[in-house]
């Protein structure tokens, strides 16, 4: 998988670039791009090869296909962009590592459910690298941490579907088109968390969000981005 570090890029052009990349994959495998190349800095030069885009976005709310307008409480001056991914509304902003795996699942040899598990596992392993224990919540994609003790290794009760005592540190939203994935995961490192209070994050009223800085980890953004990229490359391998 080819990893591309895109830096700080606007959300909408990146979203359009992902769609363009994915739409051309089947027809253009192993052929060099000659036109309609997505303009997002470091550009993909082959549609046929799996890629991982790592980036950061200016402040923006993104709404999933089934997103309900009532979950956007008070966006203020922050734009709201309708997307074609699954899930409800979430927030992207500086200080959040966003990862977009562009994977051909058919070639990789696993299905969507396994893909989601692998992406979440990569995030969990990234958090573990910085001493934080990440948890899954059944039926609520993403990764959560214990707010009172983020470094505890005590397993979450799998039968507990509530968010009491937990904060969401990473969101997940995907789209699969002709076996090819786009959109991805967002891991909160050190960001302004206030905009999350203006929405029901991922459609859950009162869900608290957090980041590594808030739980006591002063990690360098670039270090977190690099570790997440390494974990995704490893866990998404065929």
Please state, in angstroms and rounded to a whole number, the distance separating the CA atoms of residues 204 and 13.
Answer: 28
Q: What is the pLDDT of residues 95-152, one digit of tens each?
A: 999 999 999 999 999 999 999 999 999 999 999 999 999 999 887 889 999 999 999 8
* Phi, psi values for residue 23, rounded to 5°: -65, -30
Q: Which of 89, 137, 172, 202 is catalytic?
A: 202
- Supply the CATH classification number for the domain 2-235: 3.30.930.10
Report the distance separating Cα 83 and Cα 73, nearest Å: 18
pLDDT at 33: 42
List Cα–Cα distances, 10 to 32, 57, 76, 211, in angstroms: 25, 6, 18, 21
pLDDT score of 26? 58
User: Which residue stretches of the chain are H helix?
Assistant: 11-28, 105-108, 112-129, 221-235
Is residue 202 annotated as part of the catalytic site, yes or no?
Answer: yes
Q: Where are the domains of the chain?
A: 2-235
Judge contact between 48 and 31, C-beta under 8 A: yes
Task: Kindly give, in sequence order, each residue whose CB lies less than 8 Å from that of residue 107, ignoring residues fewer than 6 positions away.
Answer: 50, 179, 238
What is the pTM assigned to this prediction? 0.90
Digit-by-digit pLDDT tens for the chain (238 residues) are 999 999 999 999 999 999 999 998 855 554 444 344 444 543 444 567 899 999 999 999 999 998 899 999 999 999 999 999 988 999 999 999 999 999 999 999 999 999 999 999 999 999 999 999 999 988 788 999 999 999 988 888 877 777 888 999 999 999 999 999 999 999 999 999 999 999 999 888 888 999 999 999 999 999 999 999 999 999 999 9
Closest listed residue to residue 112, CA positions, set 203, 20, 180: 180
């Amino acid at each position: 998988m080819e990893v591309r570090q895109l830096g700080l890029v606007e959300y909408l052009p990146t979203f359009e670039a992902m769609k363009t990349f994915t739409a051309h994959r089947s027809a253009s495998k192993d052929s060099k791009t000659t036109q309609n190349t997505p303009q997002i800095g470091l550009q993909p030069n082959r549609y046929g090869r799996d890629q991982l885009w790592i980036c950061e976005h200016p402040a923006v709310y993104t709404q999933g296909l089934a997103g309900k307008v009532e979950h956007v409480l008070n966006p203020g001056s922050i734009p709201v962009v309708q997307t074609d991914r699954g899930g409800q509304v979430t927030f992207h902003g500086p200080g959040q590592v966003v990862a977009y795996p562009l994977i051909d699942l058919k070639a990789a040899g696993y299905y969507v459910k396994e893909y989601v598990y692998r992406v979440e596992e990569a995030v969990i392993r990234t958090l573990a690298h910085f001493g934080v224990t990440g948890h899954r919540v059944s039926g609520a994609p993403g990764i959560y941490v214990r707010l009172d003790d983020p470094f505890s290794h005590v397993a979450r009760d799998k039968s507990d579907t509530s968010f009491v005592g937990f904060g969401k540190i990473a969101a997940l939203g995907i789209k699969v088109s002709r076996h090819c994935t786009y959109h991805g995961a967002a891991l909160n490192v050190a960001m302004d968390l206030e905009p999350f209070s203006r929405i029901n994050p991922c459609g859950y009223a009162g869900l608290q969000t957090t980041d590594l800085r808030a739980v006591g980890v002063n990690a360098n953004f670039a270090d977190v981005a690099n570790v997440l990229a390494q974990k995704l490359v490893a866990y998404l391998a065929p």
